[in-house]
């Protein structure tokens, strides 16, 4: 049974407004309902955002899939809270291991810079594949709150994946590529690194906000559907096309801009696989999470992410044709190995530096 409302720390109805005086990034808002009706203007706008910043708001109201995400994201956050409230010894039984992307990540398990500053958020990744198969075909054990909520996760996964795939089909059409090029690399029933990630960041410790909840990164997958309720997400002012990461910081001068959560909207961003598939036509936005601003920082911060990623066996080469510039022949690496390599590049590299 989920905890009663009064014992919850995920209480979106009580959150104060995002405060004034914090520099925010003005993102475009695209309507999912219009996209689903093949509205040409809305399709153009999606494509522009994906070539530019790689981030936009997706208004979810007015269509079944969007309303479903809006309704279920709160329930998923509540299950996440119940899971992250389990005793540490129990959470550690599910710790991320080897190449598996599913399970529990301790706060402090990755470094935000070469000095070894630790991240402060914990999260639990709930794998797509186990949530959409019958119980007797599940490959992994899951904590009781997640197991009990499997139908909820199954619906959320299918809906979020469907939304991601619709956006990819719009992008493909705009580039003059057959949408089946994306569809055939992201079949939901195939094994992949897709998961629902429930993250909890602690309330802000000091007014200065020095902590990093989630270090600066670009997502590894193809497209990300993010739901959050409190500020904390920041996007770098200089596009990830020009600013690379050096010691956890972008190497071109700029500033971190806040992304204000918008009621009724998801935040959509593209990942590195989208850049790879399109040989750089699309952009994956660099972002990080710090404690929520102002009075919002008194609350623990929950977010729900769905990562659409290529199938494990997909060969990570650029698509050819349409508006995609032809690059040289590429190495044959599967998505499973490629994503593992990207993940290692972010965290473990710093751990090694520190050990020297």
Ligand X SMILES: O=C(O)CCC(=O)C(=O)O
- State the Cα–Cα distance between residues 292 and 302, nearest whole angstrom: 11
- Total residues interacting with ligand X, rule: CB under 6 A: 11
Q: Which stretch binds Fe ion (CB under 5 A): 132-140, 180-188, 218-226, 344-352?
A: 218-226
Decide: is 226 part of the binding site for ligand X (CB under 6 A).
Answer: yes
Decide: is 219 part of the binding site for Fe ion (CB under 5 A).
Answer: yes
| DSSP track, 114-156 | TT-PBP--EEEEEEHHHHTS-GGG--S---HHHHHTHHHHHHH
Which of 186, 197, 260, 276 binds ligand X (CB under 6 A)? It is 197
Decide: is 233 part of the binding site for ligand X (CB under 6 A).
Answer: yes
163 binds, among ligand X, Fe ion, none (CB under 5 to 8 A by kind): none
Decide: is 287 part of the binding site for ligand X (CB under 6 A).
Answer: yes
Helix, coil or strand: residue 46 = helix
What is the 3-state composition of the chain as percent helix, strand, coil, each rounded to the nearest 5? 35, 20, 45
| E-strand stretches of 54-121 | 55-59, 103-105
Which residue number, 58 or 233, has a Cβ lying nearer to ligand X? 233
Task: Give whole-number Cα distances, 356 to 109, 116, 346, 348, in Å.
Answer: 18, 12, 17, 13
Decide: is 303 part of the binding site for ligand X (CB under 6 A).
Answer: yes
Which residue number, 159 or 303, has a Cβ lying nearer to Fe ion? 303
Question: Minimal distance in Å, beta carbon 232 to ligand X?
Answer: 6
273 binds, among ligand X, Fe ion, none (CB under 5 to 8 A by kind): none
Rounded to 10 degrees, what is the CA torsion of 233, 158, 151, 261? 20
Contacts with ligand X in 62-121 (CB under 6 A)?
none
Which of 102, 219, 272, 311 binds ligand X (CB under 6 A)? It is 219
Contact criterion met (CB below 8 Å) for 112 and 120: no
Contacts with ligand X by CB under 6 A lie at: 197, 199, 214, 219, 226, 228, 233, 287, 289, 303, 305
Contacts with Fe ion by CB under 5 A lie at: 219
């Amino acid at each position: 049974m989920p905890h009663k409302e009064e014992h919850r720390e995920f209480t979106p109805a009580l959150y104060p407004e995002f405060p004034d005086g914090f520099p925010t990034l003005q993102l475009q808002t695209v309507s999912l309902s219009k996209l689903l009706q093949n509205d040409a203007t809305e399709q153009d706008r999606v494509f522009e955002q994906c070539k530019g910043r790689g981030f936009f708001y997706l208004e979810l109201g007015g269509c079944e899939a969007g309303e479903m995400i809006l309704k279920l994201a709160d329930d998923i956050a509540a299950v996440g809270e119940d899971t992250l409230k389990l005793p540490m010894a129990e959470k550690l039984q599910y710790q991320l291991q080897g190449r598996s992307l599913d399970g529990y990540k301790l706060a402090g398990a990755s470094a935000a810079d070469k000095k070894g500053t630790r991240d402060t958020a914990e999260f639990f990744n709930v794998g797509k594949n186990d949530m959409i198969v019958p119980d007797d075909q599940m490959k992994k054990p899951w904590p009781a709150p997640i197991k009990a909520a499997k139908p909820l996760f199954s619906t959320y996964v299918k809906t979020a994946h469907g939304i991601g795939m619709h956006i990819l089909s719009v992008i493909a059409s705009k580039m003059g590529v057959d949408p089946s090029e994306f569809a055939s690399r992201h079949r939901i029933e195939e094994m992949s690194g897709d998961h629902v990630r429930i993250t909890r960041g602690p309330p802000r410790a000091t007014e200065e906000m020095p902590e990093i909840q989630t270090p600066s990164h670009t997502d590894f997958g193809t497209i990300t559907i993010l739901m959050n309720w409190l500020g904390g997400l920041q996007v770098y002012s200089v596009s990830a096309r020009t600013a690379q990461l050096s010691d956890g910081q972008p190497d071109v001068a700029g500033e971190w801009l806040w992304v204000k959560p918008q009621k009724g909207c998801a935040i959509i961003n593209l990942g590195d696989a989208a850049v790879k598939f399109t040989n750089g036509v699309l952009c994956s936005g660099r972002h990080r999470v710090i404690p929520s601003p102002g009075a919002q920082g008194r609350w623990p911060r929950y977010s729900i992410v769905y990562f659409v990623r290529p199938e494990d066996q997909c060969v990570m080469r650029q698509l050819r044709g349409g508006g995609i510039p032809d690059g040289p022949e590429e190495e044959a690496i599967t998505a499973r190995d490629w994503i593992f390599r990207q993940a290692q590049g972010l965290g473990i590299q710093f751990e090694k530096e520190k050990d020297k």
